[in-house]
């Protein structure tokens, strides 16, 4: 089942399948290239470590490093939950 | 004997200890400036080693060589066009995979390379052991393990660097992509070899397959057919893989980086969480994150204000104390007035801000940054900054601004895009700095009540949020979101922190002092020409008519442009008393402080703004804030007066 990265609970992992385009337009090449360059390519395993309070950013563990990711961005990353 | 000259560039991800290695290598022989025409820092230094004079350039910390940010473009153009004799790629051993992704791109750019495998101590604490010999074999470049903060491996690194240059560089093999991609890269590269481009052909071919706009343009200018060929190939790759060609190439590059990392590192899971990990958990936890942040910041502010106030008074007493001494040398009274009142007063103004407030502020900021805590603050504050269309990193300049708007304005460089930089800088100019706080507390806090002073801050905060939101909605361009690596907590390297602070101070002096002195001089000339009274009268429709102030207060506000605390000091001089309660009504004091908080960025901040964003935007912002503050002051008066609360 494909779900946005934000719906993973703390400690859960998933595999990135795709990245949705920004519904409000924009968020084009630059945004998307940046995600790729930070290692969030399709097929990559990510683990949600923590979610900041008040719908803040999420902390993920990916490719051996810790990343903070804005929530809006994270909702557009679709993952397959791994249990 | 003439020394042989060499040029080395340091390249690598952010926070891998690059600047520490830079400091270890160059010591005091360094210089930090800007890249020509860009607001990106350029650190250069020299060292002498075995008869060589080596120039070291510290390139900005980046994750990729695409064109997402200014830093990435600068780095890759430097490597491709300026062709340094050697690139020292600083790699964080504790995050090997991500770092190798960048290394592979450097190899693709066919640059002469050696690797400093840094922070092996941190990696060890995480249970990671790396076989550096094997890594060197696989990549075909020398790999030197280092612990830069302790100076371990620096000598070996330098020795290996020189040796690599002397031996003549063997070009390391780049990575091989899948067969279907390699085939296409080769076809495009063959066509590119026919035209004359400053970049390596294979690299160019990969970049246009990835859809890199800047390289595409250059290829198009030389021969549009090649671009068309590449786009056709890219579509074929997309058909095969079901993802965009750029995604496929980036994925494969990461795949290779991951494979190499797994091959050379052995991970023994540590049973007990490391200190760094525990610190991370606590500082970002739901329960403790915010209280800790608040505590840290309050103590910083308290320390800086206490120290700043003390040191500022001391310095200013000392400097003013030199007046009789200087007087002996100046006979002509008019000249004396000009030199003393204009130039020297200006210098005093600058010195009493820079040393007591700016230096400690920067010092602590760099300590926090180097330790890793700053990125945790950005993580926590992302939600709040989002409300004004910025992301967590923008909180750093905002925090700086409470001390002084000048470094804060320059600090907006950490934002990724031009739009974010400008938006953050606009918000920064609205934040009351230390000097403004002194005025508000000294006037309203002392002669009205502390509650009213607090209320002024709440109103100011509301205004900042409202204006920030409006600017966010109105400014063109897409907002970016937080995407930031949170590296391990570590001990900051004191010498690096000190040298960074030193260069910030130097920068402040260069930017702010000329304008401070010139404007002091102008104000002095106006005073000597006896123009204060006429100007006060001229301003009185606004100051008295609209704002309900005393007409002399207009002059004090003009002085405030030099530095904000002068709005209080000059007020005392003009009114002939420091017991403001007797000569001013509470409403006048509240309105006066409200205006002081917002009415104009001080001249040094304007200077910084000009440097970062140009004249036009600086003038626009300044004029806007003047009008806005005057408008708001009048409205506030008309609300407060009938209420009769004061």
> B147: which DSSP letter?
B
Q: B68 touching A, CB under 8 A? A: yes
Domains of chain A, start order:
2-82 (2.30.30.90)
Give the dihedral of Cα atoms B146, B65, B210, B415; nearest 10 deg: 120
- Give CA angle at B292 (B288, B297), nearest 5°: 155
Residue showing tokens 């969480």: B273
Class of domain B4-167: alpha beta
Q: What is the C-alpha separation between B350 and B603, in angstroms, rounded?
A: 11
- Give CA angle at B24 (B20, B26), nearest 5°: 115
Task: Report the pLDDT value the prediction gives residue B331, as an integer from 0 to 100.
Answer: 64
Burial grade of B191 (CB within 10 A; 0-12, 13-18, 19 or more): middle
Q: How big is the A-B interface in CB pairs under 8 Å?
A: 121
Give the chain B residue whose CA is nearest to the CA of A41.
B251
H or E element, residue A19: strand A13-19
Q: Do B211 and A29 touch (CB under 8 A)?
A: yes
Nearest to B97 among A18, A52, A64 (CB): A64
Q: What distance in Å separates residue A59's CA from the closest CA in chain B? A: 8
8 Å CB contact between A80 and A1: yes
- Which chain A residues contact residue B247 at CB under 8 A? 36, 41-42
Q: B178 touching A, CB under 8 A? A: no
pLDDT tens track for B290-346: 999 999 999 988 888 888 888 888 888 888 887 777 677 666 677 777 777 778 877
Q: What distance in Å separates residue B462's CA from the closest CA in chain A? A: 20
- Give the rounded distance of the alpha carbon of B533 from its chain centre: 43
Structure tokens at B643: 């209420």
3-state helix, strand, coil in chain A (%, to 5): 20, 40, 40
Q: Do A68 and B63 touch (CB under 8 A)?
A: no
Residue showing tokens 């990245």: A19
- Which chain B residues contact residue A67 at CB under 8 A? 483-486
Asked whether the predicted pLDDT for residue A24 surpasses 70, the reply is no
Query: Which of B409, B345, B411 is closest to B562 using CA atoms?
Result: B345
Task: Report the pLDDT value the prediction gives residue A80, as an integer from 0 to 100.
Answer: 95
Q: What distance in Å separates residue B585's CA from the closest CA in chain A? A: 43
Q: A21 touching B, CB under 8 A? A: no
Nearest to A64 among B96, B285, B375 (CB): B96
Q: What is the C-alpha separation between B55 and B47, in angstroms, rounded?
A: 7
Check residues B239 and A82 and name the one with the higher pLDDT: B239
What are φ and ψ of residue B51, in 5° steps?
Answer: 80, 5
Task: Report the pLDDT value the prediction gives residue B171, as an integer from 0 to 100.
Answer: 67
Q: What is the C-alpha separation between B146 and B148, in angstroms, rounded?
A: 6
- Which chain B residues contact residue A27 at CB under 8 A? 478
Q: Do B280 and A66 touch (CB under 8 A)?
A: yes
**How is chain B split into domains, by residue range?**
4-167, 179-267, 272-646
Q: What is the C-alpha separation between B63 and B76, in angstroms, rounded?
A: 12
Nearest to B484 among A26, A52, A67 (CB): A67
ipTM for the predicted complex comes to: 0.93
What are φ and ψ of residue A80, in 5° steps?
Answer: -105, 120
Structure tokens at B195: 């035209």
Query: Which of B157, B149, B129 is closest to B15 using CA atoms?
Result: B149
Written in H, E and C, the secondary structure of B581-642 is: HHHCCHHHHHHHHHHHHHCCCCHHHHHHHHHHHCHHHHHHHHHHHHHHHHHHHHHHHHHHHH
Q: A75 touching B, CB under 8 A? A: no
Buried b (16+ CB within 10 A) or exposed e, B86-106: bbbbbbbbbbbbbbbbbbbbb
Task: Report the pLDDT value the prediction gives residue A25, as an integer from 0 to 100.
Answer: 47
CATH match for B179-267 among 1.10.287.130, 3.20.20.70, 1.10.287.1770, 1.20.210.10: 1.10.287.1770
Q: List, for chain B, all residue ranges whose pLDDT scores fall below the cut of 50.
A: 1
Q: What is the pTM of this model?
A: 0.88
Q: Do B480 and A64 touch (CB under 8 A)?
A: no
- Which chain B residues contact residue A50 at CB under 8 A? 284-285
């Amino acid at each position: 089942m494909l779900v946005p990265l934000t719906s993973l609970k703390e400690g859960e992992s998933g595999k990135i399948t795709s990245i949705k385009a920004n519904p409000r337009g924009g968020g084009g090449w630059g945004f998307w290239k940046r995600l790729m360059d930070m290692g969030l390519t399709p097929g990559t395993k990510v683990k949600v470590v923590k979610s900041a309070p008040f719908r803040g950013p999420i902390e993920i563990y990916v490719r051996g490093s810790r990343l903070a990711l804005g929530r809006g961005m994270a909702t557009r990353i679709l993952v397959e939950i791994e249990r | 004997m003439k020394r042989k000259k060499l040029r080395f560039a340091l390249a690598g991800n952010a926070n891998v200890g690059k600047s520490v290695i830079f400091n270890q290598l160059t010591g005091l022989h360094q210089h930090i400036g800007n890249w020509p025409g860009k607001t990106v820092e350029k650190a250069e230094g020299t060292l002498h080693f075995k008869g060589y004079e080596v120039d070291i350039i510290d390139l900005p910390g980046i994750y990729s060589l695409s064109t997402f940010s200014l830093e990435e473009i600068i780095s890759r153009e430097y490597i491709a066009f300026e062709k340094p004799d050697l690139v020292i790629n600083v790699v964080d051993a504790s995050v090997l995979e991500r770092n190798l992704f960048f290394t592979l791109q450097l190899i693709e750019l066919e640059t002469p390379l050696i690797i400093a495998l840094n922070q092996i101590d941190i990696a060890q604490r995480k249970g990671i052991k790396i076989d550096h010999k094997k890594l060197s074999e696989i990549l075909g470049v020398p790999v030197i393990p280092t612990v830069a903060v302790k100076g371990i491996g620096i000598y070996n690194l330098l020795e290996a660097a020189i040796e690599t240059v002397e031996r003549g560089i063997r070009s390391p093999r780049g990575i091989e992509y899948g067969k279907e991609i390699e085939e296409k890269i080769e076809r495009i590269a063959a066509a590119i070899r026919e035209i004359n481009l400053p970049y390596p052909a294979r690299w160019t071919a990969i970049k246009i397959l990835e859809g890199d706009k800047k390289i595409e343009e250059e290829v198009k200018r030389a021969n549009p057919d090649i671009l068309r060929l590449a786009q056709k190939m890219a579509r074929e790759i997309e058909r095969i893989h079901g993802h965009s060609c750029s995604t496929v190439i980036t994925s494969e590059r990461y795949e290779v980086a991951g494979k190499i990392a797994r091959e050379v590192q052995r991970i023994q899971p540590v049973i007990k969480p490391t200190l760094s990990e525990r610190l991370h958990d606590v500082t970002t936890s739901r329960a403790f994150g915010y209280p800790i942040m608040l505590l840290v910041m309050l103590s910083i502010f308290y320390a800086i204000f206490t120290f700043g106030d003390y040191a500022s008074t001391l310095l200013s007493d000392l400097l003013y104390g030199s007046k009789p001494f200087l007087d002996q040398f100046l006979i002509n009274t008019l000249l004396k007035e000009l030199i003393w009142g204009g130039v020297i007063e200006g210098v005093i103004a600058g010195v009493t801000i820079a040393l007591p407030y700016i230096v400690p502020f920067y010092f602590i900021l760099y300590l926090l940054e180097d330790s890793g805590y700053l990125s945790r603050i950005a993580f926590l504050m992302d939600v709040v900054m989002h409300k004004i269309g910025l992301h967590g990193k923008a909180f750093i300049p905002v925090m700086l601004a409470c001390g002084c708007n000048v470094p804060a304005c320059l600090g907006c460089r950490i934002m990724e895009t031009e739009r974010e930089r400008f938006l953050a800088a606009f918000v920064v100019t609205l934040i009351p700095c230390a000097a403004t706080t002194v005025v508000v507390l000294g006037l309203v806090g002392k002669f009205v009540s502390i509650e009213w002073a607090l209320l002024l801050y709440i109103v100011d905060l509301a205004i900042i949020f409202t204006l920030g939101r409006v600017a966010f909605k109105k400014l063109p361009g897409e907002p970016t979101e937080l995407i930031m690596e949170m590296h391990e907590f570590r001990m900051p390297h004191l010498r690096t922190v000190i040298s960074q602070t030193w260069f910030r101070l130097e920068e402040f002096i260069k930017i702010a002092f000329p304008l401070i002195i010139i404007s002091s001089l102008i104000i002095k000339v106006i005073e000597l020409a006896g123009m204060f009274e006429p100007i006060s009268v001229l301003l009185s429709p606004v100051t008295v008519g609209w704002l309900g102030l005393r007409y002399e207060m207009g002059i004090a506000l003009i002085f405030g442009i030099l530095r904000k605390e002068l709005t209080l000091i000059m007020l005392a001089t003009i009114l002939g008393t420091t017991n403001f309660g007797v000569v001013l009504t509470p409403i006048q004091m509240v309105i006066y402080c409200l205006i002081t908080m917002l009415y104009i960025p001080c001249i040094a901040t304007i200077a910084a703004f000009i440097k970062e964003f140009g004249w036009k935007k600086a003038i626009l912002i300044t004029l806007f804030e003047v009008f806005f503050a005057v408008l708001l002051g009048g409205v506030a008066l008309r609300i407060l007066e009938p209420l009769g609360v004061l």
